[in-house]
Amino acid sequence: MRQFRYLIVSLFLSATAIAQTVKYSNEFLAIGVGARQMAMGNAGISSTRDVTAGYWNPAGLTGVQPKLQLAYMHSEYFAGIAKYDYGALAAKLDSQSVAAISFVRFGVDNIPNTTQLVDANGNVDYDKISKFSATDFAAILTYARKIKEVKGLEVGANVKIIRRHLGDFGGSWGFGLDAAANYTLKGWKFSAVGRDITGTFNAWTYTLDDDTKNTFALTGNDIPKNSVEITVPRLLLGVSKKYYVWKGKISLLGEVCLLNTFDGKRNVLIKSKAVSVDPQFGFEAGYQNLFFLRFGLNNIQKYTDIDNKPLTTVQPNMGAGIKYKIFTLDYAFTNIGNASIAPYSHVFSLIIDINRTLAKRKSSGAKD
């Protein structure tokens, strides 16, 4: 598994060495949060109505019902080498507006630093091997509001503060904005989310010592320079519809999302120089709002094999959920991309409702 560490470090370094707009920037914010949405193939733009909407679609945060709502998720990838954590808190400000704060961390720890393994005379000293961490962190501040003047219309926005860190070698600070709108018509929910609408800027600075620079030069590696990395805007479109059958005891929800990028051709289902479209499909069946089964399809890609034969691959996802009183526990069997690169992982997430009555009882000092 050590090779995975080297692979991840090289990806970090290569992505940050370019002082311009890059195709894959801040990709840790594209993994997704919440086992519900991940089980549905990340098709959660229009149907997410809880605290996790602060990540998926800020306008959907108006669907939060309790006074306060908490969420937490932990997952691991590459056989536990990469760890991904998410936490959020949403607070209902009044009957029309909700605010939230979310935290996302993706990190690889205990990466061997072998830049000083061999000295100038060619001697190998294993005591010179140290370890460092490569971490990505984001804080997302969200505000959402229902528009009284237009029935069924909700709007929301995110402010993102991003910190990326590569041990003692370097790091960056970033800032970005998201905006979103939802519209409900005859039970159909339509959503549009603009991520990084002004471009998200990451300012990188490096503090490499002379020995490390010499090692990079002798091994043919570029010496990274202070630079600014720009994440270009994306447009996410989603539509969902929920039906009730069997005297209203069973709910059936379907959702389709389109992830639109504008930075050139990507290996997705629909691609061109102007725009690339990556569709995502999700399905959820629920029983009396207590038990849920979910399924999703995403990462639809076309490519040719070694015999130049065209192939199409699809990533299936599945999961389940249970809601009991103030607790919602969700599970997903999914991964972060091509299964040949990252094996499937078990993802769990928890949402806790803290209702208005409980808050009042605690403030008055009453015992539960």
* pLDDT score for 22: 64
Q: Taking residues 145-174, report their average pLDDT.
A: 93
Both tokens of 188, joined, read: 């159909």
- Work out the end-to-end distance of the chain between its first and last CA atoms, rounded to an integer number of angstroms: 48
- Choose from 212-221, 302-311, 316-325 the range with maximum mean pLDDT: 316-325
**Residue 85: pLDDT band with limits 50, 70, 90:** very high
Q: Is the pLDDT of residue 13 over 60?
A: no
**Residue 358: pLDDT band with limits 50, 70, 90:** very low
Q: Taking residues 27-40, report their average pLDDT.
A: 94
Residues 6+ apart with CB under 8 A from 126: 117
- Determine the CATH number of domain 2-363: 2.40.160.40
Single pTM value for the model: 0.84
> Would you say 51 and 33 are in contact if contact means Cβ atoms under 8 Å apart?
no
CA distance 354 to 351: 10
* pLDDT score for 277: 95
H or E element that contains 11: helix 2-16
H or E element that contains 197: none
Residues 6+ apart with CB under 8 A from 303: 267, 310, 311, 313
* CA nearest to 109, candidates 72, 74, 76: 76
Per-residue pLDDT tens for 246-298?
Answer: 988 999 999 999 999 998 888 888 888 899 999 999 999 999 999 999 999 99
Domains of the chain, by residue range, sit at 2-363
Pick the more confident residue, 368 or 245: 245
* pLDDT score for 338: 55
CA distance 140 to 48: 17
* CA nearest to 227, candidates 195, 201, 263, 208: 201
Q: Is 54 exposed, middle or buried (0-12, 13-18, 19+ CB in 10 A)?
A: buried
DSSP calls for 292-307: EEEEEEEEEEEEE-TT
Q: Please provide the size of the chain in residues.
A: 368
134 has which bridge partners? 108, 166
Torsion angle in degrees (nearest 10) through CA of 352, 281, 331, 51: -10
> Would you say 150 and 27 are in contact if contact means Cβ atoms under 8 Å apart?
no
Q: Taking residues 185-192, report their average pLDDT.
A: 96
